Amino acid sequence: MNQLRALLVGAGGMGKTWAKNITANTDVSLAGWIDIRPGAAAAGATELSIQAEYYGDDLATALRTVKPDFVVDVTIPEAHHDVTITCLEAGIPVIGEKPMAVSMHQARAMVAASERTGVRYMVSQSRRYDARLWAYRSLMQHIGEVGILDADFYIGAHFGGFRDAMANVLLLDMAIHTFDAARYLLGDSTPVSVYCEEYNPRWSWYAGAAGATALFEMANGARFTYRGCWAAEGLHTSWESEWRAVGPTGTAKWNGHDRIEAAVVAEVGGFHSKTHQLTATAAADIPLGIAGSLKDFVHAYRTGATPMGDCRDNIKSLAMVFGAIESAASGRRIRLDV
């Protein structure tokens, strides 16, 4: 089977990570690599000791010259809208980094372009590709339809650079991973509403709000609560958050690392129902992160299957982010229009 030809757009830090990801996938070749900074893509390839067939700094020229099977968009979020729509209108499928866009207006336009042209657009929501998350979702089936899902995220992250000056830094830069994971755990449920408060601890080294607490109502009536802070020193949670799910027949927990457990009702009676304990172990052979994203995209390209992160689904996770930001700014519960 012939390799698919990929055009990589963006040669920053994440662009270099994707260049390595592409060259490590035997189903894909790095047919071209571009960046708006002249020479940046070629310099990145030299740094990584890899080789692309074409380097440049203009997307339209690269599409005509390379004739790629698909494009990987690793530009800054502000550029996702223009890059993606240009490619879709040229008939070229796109897999792009999150977030999909910097506004819901742009995101809706991107989804509309994919539907209008009939060309695939997938967002690499890479933290979905985690065998532990999949094992947790499987274990949750033992507790019935989940009505309560809680996630805690507390990490003292001293990034330096642009994040220190960002507004809504936690919600905009990180929380989408947890929000998207919550939707996955609830069966890709659609969010209905959110009430959120943002805050910045007095000791925070961030200019924007490094903390947030949000309550989401989902389409099936479940409630998802998120508590997080990026200025929380010591006893950090996992980057995948710590989770508790409650259903009619028990509770399932995941510590975000390797402890995945549940207590399932065995006998009702007395003050506490009697339960039995279950555990789950993550599979060892599932590609992690962006390697999983690329594998899923290639499979969808070859078979016509719908990948996780399809733009029509991922926009629902993005709506949770912008809804939470709007709720925090307005001080009221927000209905989500996805």
* CATH for 175: 3.30.360.10
The whole-number pLDDT of residue 51 equals 94
Q: Is 43 helix (H, G, I), strand (E, B) or coil?
A: helix
Q: The dihedral of CA 164, 167, 170, 174: what is its sign?
A: negative
CA-derived radius of gyration, the chain: 21
113 and 159 share a domain? no
109 and 175 share a domain? no
Strand order in the sheet with 191-199: 274-279, 260-267, 250-254, 242-247, 148-154, 223-229, 211-218, 191-199, 334-335
115 and 133 share a domain? no
Give domain status of residue 180, yes or no: yes
The whole-number pLDDT of residue 309 equals 94
137 and 105 share a domain? no
Give domain status of residue 138, yes or no: yes
Q: Is the model's pLDDT at 237 over the cut of 80?
A: yes
Q: Is the model's pLDDT at 1 over the cut of 80?
A: no
68 and 200 share a domain? no
207 and 273 share a domain? yes
Q: Is the model's pLDDT at 136 over the cut of 90?
A: yes
Q: State the total domains in the chain.
A: 2
Structural domain of residue 86, as residue ranges?
4-119
Give domain status of residue 98, yes or no: yes
| 145 CB-contact burial (10 Å; exposed 0-12 / middle 13-18 / buried 19+) | middle
Give domain status of residue 303, yes or no: no
pLDDT band at 284 (very low <50, low <70, confident <90, very high): confident
Q: Is 56 helix (H, G, I), strand (E, B) or coil?
A: strand
Q: Choose the final residue of a domain: 119, 141, 166.
A: 119
At 68, the amino acid letter reads P
96 and 217 share a domain? no
Q: Choose the final residue of a domain: 102, 119, 136.
A: 119
145 and 52 share a domain? no
Instruction: State pLDDT tens for residues 301-330.
Output: 999 999 999 999 999 999 999 999 999 999
| 126 CB-contact burial (10 Å; exposed 0-12 / middle 13-18 / buried 19+) | buried
Give domain status of residue 307, yes or no: no
Q: What is the CATH number of the domain that holds 60?
A: 3.40.50.720
Query: Among candidates 90, 18, 77, which has minimal Cα distance to 48?
Result: 18
- Non-local CB neighbours of 143 within 8 Å, separated by 6+ positions: 245, 246, 247, 248, 249, 250, 251, 252, 262, 264
Q: What is the mean pLDDT of residues 107-126?
A: 97
Q: What is the DSSP annotation of 125-153?
A: -GGG--HHHHHHHHHHGGG-S--EEEEEE
Q: Is the model's pLDDT at 269 over the cut of 90?
A: no
161 and 255 share a domain? yes
| Tokens at 56, concatenated | 């440049």
- Give the Cα separation of 8 and 63 in Å (integer): 11
Give domain status of residue 291, yes or no: no
- Non-local CB neighbours of 285 within 8 Å, separated by 6+ positions: none
Query: Helix, strand, coil shares of the chain as percentages rounded to 5?
Result: 40, 25, 35
Q: Which residue has the tokens 């020479």?
A: 39
Give domain status of residue 111, yes or no: yes
Query: Among candidates 222, 264, 224, which has minimal Cα distance to 244?
Result: 224
225 and 149 share a domain? yes
Q: Is 30 helix (H, G, I), strand (E, B) or coil?
A: strand
22 and 73 share a domain? yes
Contact yes or no for 328/198 (Cβ under 8 A): yes
Contact yes or no for 189/183 (Cβ under 8 A): yes
Q: Is the model's pLDDT at 59 over the cut of 90?
A: yes
113 and 143 share a domain? no
Instruction: State pLDDT tens for residues 20-45.
Output: 999 999 999 999 999 999 999 999 99
- Give the Cα separation of 220 and 299 in Å (integer): 30
Q: Choose the final residue of a domain: 119, 142, 167.
A: 119
